[in-house]
C-alpha cells in the first residue's frame, strides 16, 4: 500500500505517477487497457474513490481515455509541437503551403466547420486592428483536426474594406491561405505579435474540442502587421491544452 507522508503527494497522484511511467516506458502502449479501479484497489490497498481519482488524473491530462462500459485506455495521440517562428515564416505561405504544414509534417490534418461572415467590429477587435467604432470586419471561423481529433478553434478578423471581393471572403482562400492573399493585395504580414494565456474552456469550447473534464485550453491572440505596422488580421485561437507543446526560439 502507498502511504502518504508529510509533504508527500496524495496517494492517488502517486498511483497516477506509477501508471504514467508505465505508459512512458512502453509497458503500456497506445490502445492498451489501463488497470481498472478494482485492480488498483487490490494492488495498492486503497479505496475505490482513490483509484478513481488516479485514473481521472490521466484522463484529464489527455493521455488516457475512458470508454463507457469497457474501461480506461492509453490514448494513442502524440502532442503537436507548435513552433512559433517557423509556422509563420513567409517562406511557407508565400509558396502556397499551409501554416499547419510546418507543425504536422506527415500527420493528416483537416479544416472543418468553416464559416465566413461580415459584422461590425467588436470593441476588442476594433482596438487590435486600429479601426473606428462601427467599422466592418470579415470574420472567418474554423476548426482544425489532427489525426481526426479536434485540436483548435480559430477566428480571424480582417478589415472588411481591405478584403472585399477577394477569395478571403470564401471558405477556401486558396494556396497559402489568408496571408498569401493579403500579400497579393500589397498588405503582406511582416510582423506578428502573440499573447497566450491558459484558462478553463467554456461549455461550447469543451463540446467543439471534445475535451475531457478538467482539461484547460490555451487562448492565443495573434495580430498580423505589415512592414508599415498596419494591423491586417486578428486571429483568436483556442487550443486543446493537453494536445500541444509550444516551442519558441530566441537569440541571446
Q: pTM of the entire structure?
A: 0.72
> Is residue 89 over pLDDT 90?
no
Q: Which of 205, 232, 207 is nearest to 219 (CA)?
A: 205
Q: Which of 114, 177, 156, 154 is nearest to 240 (CA)?
A: 154
> Is residue 147 over pLDDT 90?
no
Give per-residue pLDDT as tens, 176-223: 899 999 999 999 999 999 999 999 999 999 999 988 777 889 999 999
Residue 132: which pLDDT band, with cuts at 50, 70 and 90? very high
> Is residue 76 over pLDDT 70?
no
> Is residue 241 over pLDDT 70?
yes
Burial group, residue 49, by CB count within 10 angstroms (0-12, 13-18, 19+): exposed
> Is residue 2 over pLDDT 60?
no
- Report the pLDDT value the prediction gives residue 211, as an integer from 0 to 100: 85
DSSP strand pairing (71-74 vs 80-83): unpaired
Angle between helices 11-25 and 37-44 (to 10 degrees): 110
The phi and psi torsions of 97 (rounded to 5 degrees) equal -95, 150
Domains annotated on the chain, with CATH: 11-74 (1.10.10.10), 80-247 (3.40.1410.10)
User: Among 22-36, 92-106, 238-252, where is mean pLDDT lowest?
Assistant: 92-106
Average pLDDT value over all residues in the chain: 86
- Report the pLDDT value the prediction gives residue 109, as an integer from 0 to 100: 79
Please work out, in degrees rounded to the nearest 5, the angle formed at the alpha carbon of residue 156 by the alpha carbons of 125 and 93: 130
**Residue at grid coordinates 507543446:** 245
Compute CA distances 83 → 15, 29, 155, 179, 224, whole Å.
33, 27, 20, 18, 17
Alpha helices (H) along 1-159:
11-25, 37-44, 48-60, 90-93, 101-104, 123-128
The phi and psi torsions of 194 (rounded to 5 degrees) equal -125, 140
> Is residue 230 over pLDDT 80?
yes
Alpha-carbon distance of 37 to 55, in angstroms, equals 8
Give per-residue pLDDT as tens, 152-161: 999 999 999 9
- Terminal Cα distance for the chain, rounded: 49
> Is residue 14 over pLDDT 90?
yes
Q: Which residues pair with 67 in a beta bridge?
A: 71
Amino acid at each position: 500500500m502507498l502511504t502518504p507522508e508529510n509533504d508527500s503527494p496524495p496517494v492517488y497522484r502517486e498511483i497516477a505517477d506509477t501508471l504514467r511511467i508505465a505508459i512512458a516506458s512502453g509497458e503500456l502502449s497506445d490502445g492498451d487497457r489501463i488497470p481498472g479501479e478494482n485492480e488498483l484497489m487490490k494492488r495498492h490497498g486503497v479505496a475505490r474513490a482513490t483509484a478513481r481519482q488516479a485514473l481521472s488524473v490521466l484522463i484529464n491530462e489527455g493521455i488516457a481515455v475512458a470508454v463507457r462500459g469497457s474501461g480506461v485506455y492509453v490514448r494513442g495521440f502524440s502532442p503537436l509541437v507548435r513552433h512559433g517562428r517557423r509556422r509563420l515564416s513567409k517562406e511557407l505561405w508565400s509558396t502556397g503551403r499551409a501554416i499547419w504544414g510546418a507543425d504536422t509534417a506527415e500527420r493528416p490534418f483537416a479544416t472543418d466547420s468553416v464559416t465566413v461572415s461580415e459584422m461590425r467590429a467588436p470593441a476588442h477587435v476594433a482596438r487590435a486592428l486600429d479601426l473606428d467604432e462601427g467599422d466592418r470586419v470579415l470574420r472567418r471561423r474554423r476548426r482544425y483536426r489532427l489525426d481526426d481529433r479536434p485540436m483548435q478553434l480559430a477566428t480571424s478578423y480582417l478589415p472588411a474594406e481591405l478584403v472585399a471581393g477577394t477569395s478571403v471572403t470564401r471558405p477556401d482562400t486558396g494556396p497559402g491561405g489568408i496571408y498569401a492573399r493579403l500579400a497579393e493585395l500589397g498588405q503582406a504580414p511582416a510582423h506578428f505579435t502573440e499573447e497566450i494565456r491558459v484558462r478553463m474552456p467554456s461549455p461550447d469550447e469543451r463540446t467543439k474540442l471534445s475535451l475531457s473534464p478538467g482539461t484547460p485550453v490555451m487562448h492565443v491572440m495573434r495580430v498580423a502587421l505589415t512592414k508599415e505596422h498596419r494591423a491586417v488580421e486578428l486571429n483568436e485561437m483556442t487550443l486543446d491544452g493537453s494536445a500541444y507543446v509550444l516551442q519558441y526560439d530566441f537569440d541571446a
